[in-house]
Amino acid sequence: MLESLPYELPELVTRAPLDTHRSTVLPEWVDWNGHMNVAFYVTAFDQASGAFMRNMGLGRRYVDGKLGMTFVLETHVTYDREMKGGAPMRFTTQLLGCDAKKVHLFHEMYHAELGYLASTNETIVMNIDYATRRSAPWPLPVGERLETLWATHRPLPKPAKAGRVMGLSKKA
């Protein structure tokens, strides 16, 4: 485990849920149906996971400094409403759990002006050792930050769309 990180960490945001990430639907994310393509919802959520990781102290410098990386293991998306090119997005992020190497996150994507829920994303992200490209425990200061954040997020209710298993109800 890394005992420290060789750069200054940003001030930790502990709001529950986190609500700092904003983005815009890029023109190249729109498909022949005239809305944001399914894949780019995942890209937009991946950037929200990136914002979460920066808050933990694991931004670009973590990778460029050849210290480590974070890999997504699994992800689940609900597509609740369409988003058009240029639409502003607002994200919230709730920590649902964490262990020595992984975090379990739940993102919600809202249309930032109209306010509606567009999509949700539940995801597992794992810390990776740069040299071996294998899983490794969080650096010590990151583990401490996760503990602090977990204390504020743990009391939040579990989101209704978390923990879903896909299937047909037979009543379409």
Q: Please report, as ranges, the residues that interact with other proteins according to CB under 8 A.
A: 32-33, 37-40, 42-43, 46, 60, 63-64, 69, 71-79, 82, 97-99, 102, 104, 122-124, 133, 150, 162-168, 170, 172
SS3 29: helix
Give least dist CB 131 to other proteins, A.
Answer: 13
Of 11 and 155, CB closest to other proteins: 155
Give least dist CB 69 to other proteins, A.
Answer: 5
Cβ atoms of 38 and 32 closer than 8 Å: no
Question: Residue 58, class by beta-carbon neighbours within 10 Å (0-12 exposed, 13-18 middle, 19+ buried)?
Answer: buried
Of 11 and 170, CB closest to other proteins: 170
Alpha-helical segments (H) within the chain: 38-56, 60-64, 140-153
**Cis amide linkage into residue 17, ω under 30° from 0:** yes
Of 11 and 172, CB closest to other proteins: 172
Give least dist CB 46 to other proteins, A.
Answer: 5
Give least dist CB 56 to other proteins, A.
Answer: 16
Neighbours of 171 (CB within 10 A): 4
Token pair belonging to 109: 């994507």
Of 11 and 97, CB closest to other proteins: 97
Of 11 and 165, CB closest to other proteins: 165
Backbone φ, ψ for residue 167 (5° rounding): 175, 165
Give least dist CB 37 to other proteins, A.
Answer: 7
What is the rounded CA–CA span in Å between residue 20 and residue 43? Answer: 17
